């Protein structure tokens, strides 16, 4: 159970057992049992009837909850000799249910504040492995941190009691912390005493991994994005530094780019999907081509950009952004954006249209970027969606349309709502939805 008290600290309501359980330094947990077997199945048995924070729609609420549970399972699973399996059916070993007030056990919830969650130990004959969460609490990216709560409660279902040490199993925690939970040495020792060490366990590597995850940079800091693009199936990605975020793929976000895209050099300069459904990543004067038209991605080795079709006659060795605007089936002009180039006749950031899709500017159509809008001095990313064409610079975006090989503003500079809602959720709600597309056969 988590109780909300002074200084906005919450307490876990799982019954304290310090007076009844004999503990020692080497064997800190006795009598609470352990879940049997080398494979442990987990699932969400009941989602909340109330949307998280009341500003996230039903689908995104479920994604947030799924991610939090997956994060908690991953946290413990790295340390112990257990195979955790997502099992969306009945008879799973760990089940999370959102409930309100009297929900069938002897620990009724009390609405916002006070008790917010409780779990049952493996020795409980009827409810072992159950986690109950108060659905009235303001869970969400900007609300109470469900990642911390589920990491703590999963520890209980595995057989860990509350501890007086500085660990994830302390009954008190700061409910609005933004950092990710991590295991203390005491947590690791305790859980490994129950389930054994992970094969090829490397304590130093585990600590370094946790430190990396705990200090993962944010997609919503002051640094501009590097690229945003949509795959042929409509999934939207945002790249920033070494991070990747997606509007459709469920994960604990953001992810390191290498975790999803493999050995891709980061940060990249731009990414886009062309009219033939090839997805391109560009860094400096190199390009990678990806076939993402099926569930299995197929990568090509990197090439010099001038050896690729989109840049066959491209006059420069780098590019900041590429926009393929919506148009007729037969004509979808490319727009290229590039900052200052030393040693060229063009001064200042510029852009140009390319009706032939080969990188060469249409004759007479190289323009200054500030001609689009006087506030626009560079373009960090660009994308065309069913809702329109968008260009991004620092913390702002513009909605534009193509007009005779130039771009005109439809919606002037709008500040990205980084503070009020996460980048991922904003993208999903504001710009993105699944859309049908006409596949063009490759030559």
| DSSP string across 105-134 | SS----SSSS--EEE--TT-TTTTTEEEEE
The number of distinct structural domains making up the chain is: 2
The residues, ordered by sequence, that sit 6+ positions from 420 with a Cβ below 8 Å of its Cβ are 142
| Burial state string for 334-362 with b = 16 or more CB within 10 A and e = fewer than 16 | bbbbbeebeeeeeeebbbbbbeebebbbe
Amino acid 6: pLDDT: 30
Do 272 and 367 lie in a common domain?
yes
441 is catalytic: no
CATH code of residue 27? 3.40.390.10
pLDDT at 178: 55
Average pLDDT, integer, range 49-78: 79
What is the reported pLDDT for 213? 53
- pLDDT at site 317: 85
- Asked if 279 and 381 sit in the same domain, the reply is yes
If you search the block for the tokens 């940060």, which residue do you land on?
267
Tokens at 321, concatenated: 């952004």
pLDDT digits (tens, 9 = 90+) for 377-390: 888 888 887 778 88
Query: Is 440 inside any structural domain?
Result: no
Indicate if the pLDDT at residue 72 is higher than 90. Answer: yes
Percentages helix, strand, coil for the chain, rounded to the nearest 5?
Answer: 20, 25, 55
Residue 357 reports pLDDT greater than 80: no
φ/ψ (deg, to 5) at 202? -125, 100
Identify which has the larger pLDDT, 149 or 51.
149
User: Between 337 and 161, whose confidence is greater?
Assistant: 161
Helix/strand number for the chain, H first, E second? 6, 24
Specify whether 186 is located in the same domain as 284: no
pLDDT of 413 > 90? The answer is no
Average pLDDT over residues 351-360: 79
Confidence (pTM): 0.49
Across all residues in the chain, what is the average pLDDT? 74
Residue 244 CB neighbours (<10 A): 25
Q: Does residue 350 carry a pLDDT above 60?
A: yes
The total of other beta-carbon atoms located within 10 Å of residue 364's CB is 8
CB burial of residue 329 (10 Å; 0-12, 13-18, 19+): exposed
Flag whether 267 is in a domain. yes
The larger pLDDT score, comparing residue 218 to residue 284, is at 284
pLDDT number for residue 332 = 64
Q: Could you tell me if residue 11 is inside a domain?
A: yes
Last residue of a domain, one of 214, 249, 272: 214
Q: Are residues 135 and 183 in the same domain?
A: yes
Local confidence band at 326 (pLDDT 50, 70, 90 cut-offs):
low
193 and 296 co-located in one domain: no
pLDDT of residue 137: 85
Q: Is the peptide bond before 313 cis (omega within 30 degrees of 0)?
A: no
Distances 425 to 109, 139, 347, 435, 437 between C-alpha atoms, Å: 29, 14, 38, 18, 23
Give me the catalytic one of 53, 135, 153, 213.
153
* Residues above pLDDT 90, as percent of the chain: 14
Highest mean pLDDT among 14-28, 31-45, 158-172, 214-228: 31-45
Question: Would you say residue 196 lies in a domain?
Answer: yes
pLDDT tens for each residue of 204-240? 666 666 555 544 445 555 567 788 888 887 777 788 7
Binding site membership for Zn(2+): which residues? 103, 105, 118, 132, 152, 156, 162, 169
Picking from 260, 291, 297, the residue whose alpha carbon sits closest to that of residue 276 is: 291
Q: In this structure, are 197 and 337 located in the same domain? A: no
Residues 140 and 41 in one domain: yes
Q: What tokens does 291 get?
A: 């076939």
CATH number where 309 lies: 2.110.10.10
Looking at the structure, do residues 311 and 236 belong to the same domain, yes or no? yes
**Where among 156, 185, 214 does a domain terminate?**
214
Tell whether 348 is covered by a domain: yes
Instruction: Among 149, 181, 214, give the residue marking a domain's end.
Output: 214
Q: Are 81 and 158 members of one domain? A: yes
DSSP assigned state of 306:
G
Among 407, 438, 422, which residue's Cα sits nearest to residue 63?
422
**232 and 326, same structural domain?**
yes
pLDDT of 138 higher than 80? yes
Who contacts 205 (Cβ-Cβ below 8 Å, separation ≥6)?
Answer: none
Residues of the domain holding 415 = 227-431
Average pLDDT over residues 241-260: 55
In-domain check, residue 284: yes
Q: Which DSSP category does 6 fall into?
A: G
In a domain, 441, yes or no: no
Would you say residue 395 lies in a domain?
Answer: yes
- Residue 369 CA to residue 349 CA, distance in Å, equals 6
Answer yes or no: do 35 and 118 share one domain.
Answer: yes
Mean pLDDT value of segment 406-425: 61
pLDDT at position 424: 41
> Residue 440 pLDDT > 50, yes or no?
no
83 vs 345 pLDDT, higher one: 83
Residue 414: which pLDDT band, with cuts at 50, 70 and 90?
Answer: confident
Alpha helices in 307-416 (DSSP H): none
pLDDT of residue 232: 80
The conformational region for residue 71 under phi > 0 = left, psi -120 to 50 = alpha, else beta, is: alpha
Residue 97: which pLDDT band, with cuts at 50, 70 and 90? very high
Handedness of CA 83, 299, 282, 382 (dihedral sign): negative
Distance CA 308, CA 265 (A): 18
In terms of domains, do 180 and 121 share one?
A: yes
Question: What tokens were used for 248?
Answer: 């459709």
Looking at per-residue confidence, does 439 or 228 come out higher?
A: 228
- For residue 103, pLDDT beyond 80: yes
Residues marked as binding? 93, 103, 105, 110-111, 118, 132, 134, 137, 152, 156, 162, 169, 226, 269, 271, 380
Is the pLDDT at 348 greater than 60, yes or no? Answer: yes
């Amino acid at each position: 159970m988590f109780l909300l008290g002074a200084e906005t600290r919450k307490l876990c309501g799982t019954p304290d057992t310090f007076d009844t359980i004999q503990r020692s330094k080497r064997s800190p947990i006795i009598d609470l049992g352990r879940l049997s077997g080398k494979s442990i199945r987990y699932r969400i048995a009941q989602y909340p009837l109330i949307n998280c924070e009341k500003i996230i729609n039903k689908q995104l609420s479920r994604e947030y909850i799924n991610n939090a549970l997956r994060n908690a399972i991953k946290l413990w699973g790295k340390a112990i000799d257990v195979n955790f399996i997502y099992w969306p059916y009945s008879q799973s070993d760990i089940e999370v249910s959102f409930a309100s007030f009297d929900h069938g056990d002897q620990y009724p919830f009390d609405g916002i504040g006070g008790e917010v969650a409780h779990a049952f130990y493996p020795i409980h004959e009827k409810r072992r492995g159950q986690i109950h969460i108060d659905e009235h609490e303001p869970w969400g990216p900007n609300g109470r941190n469900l990642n911390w709560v589920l990491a703590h409660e999963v520890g209980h279902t595995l057989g860990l009691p509350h501890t007086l040490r500085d660990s994830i199993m302390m009954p008190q925690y700061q409910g609005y912390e933004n950092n990710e939970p991590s295991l203390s040495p005491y947590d690791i020792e305790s859980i490994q005493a129950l389930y054994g060490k992970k094969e090829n366990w490397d304590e130093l590597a585990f600590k370094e991994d946790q430190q990396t995850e705990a200090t993962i940079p944010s997609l919503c800091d002051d640094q501009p994005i590097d690229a945003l693009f949509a795959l042929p199936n409509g999934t939207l990605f945002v790249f920033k530094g070494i991070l990747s975020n997606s509007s459709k793929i469920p994960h604990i976000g953001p992810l390191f780019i290498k975790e999803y895209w493999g050995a891709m050099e980061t940060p990249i300069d731009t990414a886009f999907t062309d009219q033939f459904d090839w997805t391109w990543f560009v860094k400096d004067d190199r390009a990678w081509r990806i076939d993402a038209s099926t569930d299995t991605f197929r990568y090509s080795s990197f090439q010099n950009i001038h050896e690729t079709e989109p840049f066959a006659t491209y006059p420069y060795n780098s590019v900041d952004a590429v926009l393929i605007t919506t148009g007729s089936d037969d004509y979808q002009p490319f727009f290229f954006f590039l900052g200052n180039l030393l040693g060229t006749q063009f001064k200042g950031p510029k852009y140009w249209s390319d009706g032939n899709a080969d990188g060469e500017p249409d004759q007479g159509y190289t323009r200054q970027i500030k001609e689009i809008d006087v506030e626009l001095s560079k373009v960090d990313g660009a994308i065309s969606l069913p809702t329109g064409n968008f260009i991004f610079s620092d913390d702002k975006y513009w909605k534009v349309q193509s007009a005779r090989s130039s771009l005109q503003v439809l919606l002037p500079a709008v500040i990205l709502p980084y503070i009020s809602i996460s980048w991922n959720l904003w993208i999903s709600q504001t710009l993105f939805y699944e859309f049908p597309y006409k596949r063009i056969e490759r030559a």
